[in-house]
Amino acid sequence: MQTSRFHRIGAWVSLLLIFAVVLAACGPQAAPSAAPAQQPAAPAAAPAMEGEWTLAKAAEPYKGVSINCVFLDRPGYRAAIELLPEFEQITGIDVNWEIMPYENSREKQVLDFTGMTGNYDCILIDVVWIGEFAASGWVVPLERFYNDPALADPELNLAGFFPILLESFGTWDNVIYGLPFDNYSGVLFYNRCMLEEAGFDGPPQTWMELKDVYGPALTKDGKYAFALQSRRGETQSADSFMRMIWPFGGSLLDENFEPNLTSEGSLAGLRFRQDLMKYMPPDIVEWDHDETVQGLAQGNVAMITEWSAFNAYFTDPQTSRIVDCIDYAVEPAGPVGPRPALGGFSLGVSANSSPEKQAATWLFIQWITSEAKAKDYIRAGGVSGRMSAYEDPELQAQYPYFEPLVISWKEYGNPVFRPRFPEWPAISELIAQTGTEMMLGSISVEDGAKLLNDQIRQILDQAGYYSGQKPKLQ
């Protein structure tokens, strides 16, 4: 009897041990201490600058310092990697980079911040993360560097960035935390040859024209008029859902900071998206940026609205069959005009890094986003945030997408295309789920919008926006 009981207890203990190992593999990782993020230490005493400021002189105290950057597998980052050796040669600072999928980049950085592991010095800040990263104290206000004569390049010229980019990507509550690095606007990329074959001498000017005129004419023989990347994730919430509500007069929040997805404008945009799906590939809810870019580049889709940063794929004969046919326009207008998507990344300095690494990181960020390197960055495949680069006639001729890009930023730029407050990631998750279900027809547009409105209000209420605990910043 006792032996049997002993065996039973033994069996339970063994099982517990086995499943402890299983849980360790599938459960959340050991979380770090709950202490608040470390306040950035004061920078190293700035050496007195003798004579003219040069990068080499400014970097002298940091020679041999290694910094780590978070990069994505996108053209702007490959461009930076191509230019890096020049910076390393001038400064003696080693710049390492880790390329990670966009989907994991926030997760990895947040774990780095909260764990205070200091793995990353040069922080990649998506336009929708700036509120979270800045308000949490994970990135350092850059004024401490650009107000330091030893570190600030006299040619820095913050006013030389497109205002909407510096404001949206790098600024939170009137403090600059990042400099615009990988800069996007939504652009209509189209296959001119396909359009001409179908009898069109230019792209559609409005979304309605795209659906009613171009859609039927271009959707045939296994090819599609349009593809709207809609895979679950930020692609669904930003590139698909938000892209369609703005041109139709909708928005995520109204002027009183209340959810606005059940407004006539928002519903009109979402209903339009459903109607437009018949001119898109049938599995469009599984299309991410890669599939969409490839769809156009391989000649299977006639038009896409994608980030300007993907241009390099279409102009490279190794990745595109439509090098001679690619053309560009501002995203089509809705009833309230064009409202192109705005997105992109700034580079910031981690609050967890040592003062030396912070200074070295600043020098790198200042250099890679400088006016002096802007043209090299563009030629290497990046999209600079510097206005001066886009005034160069030679570059204008070489990169015809400049025109719609600059128009989008200057005339139609929408700084709250997606709210930049810390609650966006949670809201984005909800939109990604319900937005995809709307497209699949498993929930109606009206019911989905109402569900999202309720969920978003709850999130904002819990965050303290309606009780006055938090300022209503987007």
Q: Which residues of 224-250 are buried (b: 16+ CB within 10 A; e: fewer)?
A: bbbbbbbbbbbbbbbbbbbbbbbbbbb
Question: How many CB atoms lie under 10 A from the CB of residue 67?
Answer: 26
User: What residues between 228 and 287 interact with another protein by CB under 8 A?
Assistant: 231-233, 281-286
Min CB(73)–another protein separation in Å: 14
Any alpha helices (H) in 92-181, and if so which ranges?
A: 102-115, 130-135, 143-146, 163-170
User: What residues between 94 and 133 interact with another protein by CB under 8 A?
Assistant: 103, 107, 110-111, 114, 132
Instruction: Give which of 68, 71, 72 is closest to 118, Cα–Cα.
Output: 68
Cα(286)–Cα(230) distance, integer angstroms: 7
Cα(372)–Cα(55) distance, integer angstroms: 12
Closest to another protein by CB, 23 or 336: 23
Phi, psi of 56 (to 5 degrees): -60, -45
First-to-last alpha carbon distance for the chain, in angstroms, is 68
CA 88 to chain centre: 27
Residue with tokens 């926030």: 106
Pairing verdict, β 301-307 and 178-191? antiparallel
Type of residue numbered 398? Q
Closest to another protein by CB, 205 or 300: 300
Min CB(443)–another protein separation in Å: 9
Cα(379)–Cα(381) distance, integer angstroms: 5
Closest to another protein by CB, 17 or 175: 17
Burial class (CB in 10 A: 0-12, 13-18, 19+), 426: middle
Closest to another protein by CB, 109 or 361: 109
Do residues 258 and 238 lie in contact, with contact meaning Cβ atoms separated by under 8 Å? Answer: no
Question: In this structure, what token pair is assigned to residue 274?
Answer: 């459903």
Closest to another protein by CB, 174 or 469: 469
Q: List the x/- string, 298-337, binding to another protein by CB under 8 A.
A: --x-------------------------------------
Do residues 455 and 435 lie in contact, with contact meaning Cβ atoms separated by under 8 Å? Answer: no
Min CB(126)–another protein separation in Å: 14
Min CB(440)–another protein separation in Å: 5
Burial class (CB in 10 A: 0-12, 13-18, 19+), 64: exposed
Closest to another protein by CB, 40 or 265: 40
Cα(91)–Cα(57) distance, integer angstroms: 8
Do residues 121 and 109 lie in contact, with contact meaning Cβ atoms separated by under 8 Å? Answer: no
Name the CA radius of gyration of the chain, rounded.
25
**Residue 419 binds another protein, judged by CB under 8 A:** no
Min CB(181)–another protein separation in Å: 23
- Number of shown-chain residues binding another protein (CB under 8 A): 49
Closest to another protein by CB, 361 or 433: 433
**Residue selected from 426, 446, 470, 473 as contacting another protein according to rule CB under 8 A:** 426
**How large is the greatest C-alpha to C-alpha distance in the chain, in angstroms?**
92
**Residue selected from 117, 398, 442, 458 as contacting another protein according to rule CB under 8 A:** 442
Phi, psi of 216 (to 5 degrees): -65, -35
Closest to another protein by CB, 18 or 336: 18
Question: How many CB atoms lie under 10 A from the CB of residue 11?
Answer: 10
Closest to another protein by CB, 18 or 49: 18
Closest to another protein by CB, 135 or 193: 135
Closest to another protein by CB, 63 or 278: 278
Cα(350)–Cα(40) distance, integer angstroms: 8
**Residue selected from 197, 336, 440, 458 as contacting another protein according to rule CB under 8 A:** 440
Closest to another protein by CB, 211 or 231: 231
User: What residues between 7 and 46 interact with another protein by CB under 8 A?
Assistant: 11-12, 15-31, 34-36
Interface with another protein by CB under 8 A: which residues? 11-12, 15-31, 34-36, 103, 107, 110-111, 114, 132, 136, 231-233, 281-286, 300, 422, 425-426, 429, 433, 436-437, 439-440, 442
